[in-house]
Structure 1
């Protein structure tokens, strides 16, 4: 076989060894739920003319795109055109994109061949369009919001892996057709409501650790909010895009997006939503080892929350409560190594959760147990997990599976057998 000179040139430009190249590709695969075990020998085979398997090839392209900070394609690495298109998620007609994402999701097309890979390039968020007045909504927008709120309750009862196809179907078959014919003063409110529904699909995909799919939904949700001229919805959505980036370990990008979210809400934003978004920025600052600044921002979020009025009944995104702040504060302090204070905040968050918040309680509870285990208090961790036994057994959440994977097997409550995701 001929030597792949294009791949060799890309590796040299990246400044990678063969082992570093394989590690970078494996890392992208792990983000997307693929267990890749490439090593330096594998890269040698690629240099000798072997082409990566079809599900791994987009991961290799993304790995080089990140390192070289420019768009890449299979052809630019010396591989044939396989029909894989790594397109710009911020381009194209938003309703057409949303329809395709929803259809893929309903068909459960799990491979990267159809859903793409989680892309750092997509985290370069375009500037918001010029603000304009948002007209009052209508019955259709209210129906979208109410349906979304009910579907969100199913998500928290059963986890993101349980009912997302229902949300995808609702978006594809009901919401998008309504948006296509929306005219007049109700149009902006309908697009804003649809952005929340797309956000729910993204949140559920992230909980199922379908990273690429979640990112695609998040980006289209932001675009719907921009189409509605709704900067506050844009800020809420960017906040969650930042959270996903942070959970995947992309600290710099997470902080940039959190800053963009703060910028979006500078005018006319309710104090409660401001607090929610500032709390996310504080988490990103802590992950970036900017501890004093993170604590200051978290205290600002607390003051805003204490001054906040009650949220509208329909609003479930950004309806930040004290127990949510406790969770964020606990997560922030744990990342800074202040485990004793983190334990107190996480315990308070778990204790005040409503019965319907089963997935949330299980997720935060497992994080509490991890802090207790890190502190050396194995008994406390065991007791915490024991109290969560029923919640853990009832929800389908790959994020909870990932949290539980950090514990010795004997500490973990029995639950239905599921394949655990691989993260870096």
Structure 2
């Protein structure tokens, strides 16, 4: 994606465009509905949530690339018809909230395939739907999607700005897991921007919140932010800050905790752990961990996995003389 386009759009999302949803839109549409419009009730909202879970589970296991077209088709054929249908205001807000989650999922799938322009548009739309539904958590989650995208693309100022907006949106929430989810994102953005003070403050705040959060997962994205996922994110933040020993401890911790049993998630953590070990010049450990990564990544369709393979191969070329490096490089070449 073009850097200038992303930066301009991201700044707009963080300041103006994302701050101007039609907050009275659902109420107004309820009053203006046609009698001939399709009737929408709790059953349709439940159907959307069921599809989100099924599609989300598949994407978390084998990557966003496998189910994106199915999710888009469902949105454009079934859900769009219900959005234009006839519903009560209460059902309308639930429908908009559920649709925001579906749209966010499609944005995540697009990002997981490397289609950043598409992902950005869907995250922005997810934010507007969530804001119109009056759902602060979903609004913050949509902003987090944009912030993570900016982090991944290396747009430091935009990442910090959007992550700060995300944390600000979450101030109304009383859910420690959700707060940890958004604080960790700001810590990551700040670490990338070389702002050690903010990064460590946010990391400490997120740890305090995740340690008192429920271990039960709910229906929202934030509710799936387990202690294992926090350990992975915090480990990589610590690595950005140069504390490789602590980073390795956190990554080992994340692999040992239930909640990172998804194939895609485990593959990414293994890739990250191997990179941390490589930076510590523990090459034999890195080669072993990367071997486990390739085993786990087989069949996963994700830009994060393919980028990790490319990164690993570049590092292996620097240590050709180390036992196992050339064999691992050959295995990786056969995956691309």
Q: Is the pair's TM-score, using the shorter chain for normalization, greater than 0.5?
A: yes
Distance in 2, Cα, partners of 1:310 & 1:131: 33
- Deviation at residue 332 of structure 1 after TM alignment: 0.6
- Deviation at residue 253 of structure 1 after TM alignment: 0.5
Change (3 A) 1:260 1:362: same
Worse overlay, 302-311 or 173-182: 302-311
Match of 1:283 among 173, 178, 188: 188
Q: Is the 8 Å Cα contact of residues 141 and 221 (structure 2) preserved in structure 1?
A: no
Match of 2:227 among 322, 328, 334: 322
* Greater fraction of residues in helix: 2
Distance in 2, Cα, partners of 1:352 & 1:312: 14
Match of 1:161 among 55, 62, 65: 65
Distance in 2, Cα, partners of 1:182 & 1:120: 39
Q: Is 1:146 matched up with 2:50?
A: yes
* Aligned 1:323-338 pairs, distance under 5 A: 323-338=228-243
Counterpart position of 2:6? 119
- Deviation at residue 385 of structure 1 after TM alignment: 1.7
Counterpart position of 1:406? 311
- Deviation at residue 323 of structure 1 after TM alignment: 0.6
* Aligned 1:193-212 pairs, distance under 5 A: 193-212=98-117
Structure 2 gaps of 5+ residues are 28-40, 318-325
Q: Is 1:191 matched up with 2:96?
A: yes
Q: Is the 8 Å Cα contact of residues 153 and 356 (structure 1) preserved in structure 2?
A: no
Distance in 1, Cα, partners of 2:219 & 2:147: 24
Q: Is the 8 Å Cα contact of residues 393 and 415 (structure 1) preserved in structure 2?
A: no
Distance in 2, Cα, partners of 1:353 & 1:416: 31
Distance in 2, Cα, partners of 1:386 & 1:325: 24
Q: TM-score, normalised on structure 1?
A: 0.67
Distance in 1, Cα, partners of 2:169 & 2:20: 8
Which deviations, in whole Å up to 9, do the C-alpha atoms of 1:122-174 show, x marking residues without a partner?
Answer: 21223255978x99x82322221121011111102211222211111111112
Counterpart position of 1:178? 82
- Deviation at residue 261 of structure 1 after TM alignment: 0.8
Counterpart position of 1:234? 139
Q: Is the 8 Å Cα contact of residues 157 and 358 (structure 1) preserved in structure 2?
A: yes
* Aligned 1:16-415 pairs, distance under 5 A: 32=1, 59=2, 66=4, 119-123=6-10, 124-125=12-13, 126=16, 127=19, 129=21, 138-184=42-88, 185-311=90-216, 313-354=218-259, 356-407=261-312, 408=316, 410=326, 411-412=328-329, 413-414=331-332
Q: Is the 8 Å Cα contact of residues 271 and 290 (structure 2) preserved in structure 1?
A: yes
Distance in 2, Cα, partners of 1:261 & 1:297: 13
Structure 1 gaps of 5+ residues are 1-31, 33-58, 67-117, 419-424
- Deviation at residue 354 of structure 1 after TM alignment: 4.5
Which deviations, in whole Å up to 9, do the C-alpha atoms of 1:6-40 show, x marking residues without a partner?
Answer: xxxxxxxxxxxxxxxxxxxxxxxxxx3xxxxxxxx
Distance in 2, Cα, partners of 1:416 & 1:202: 29
Q: CA RMSD in A?
A: 2.3
Name the SS for the 2:298 alignment partner: helix
Change (3 A) 1:319 1:354: closer
Q: Is the 8 Å Cα contact of residues 236 and 318 (structure 1) preserved in structure 2?
A: no
Which deviations, in whole Å up to 9, do the C-alpha atoms of 1:385-413 show, x marking residues without a partner?
Answer: 22233321120112111122122263344
Task: Pick the structure with greater CA Rg.
Answer: 1
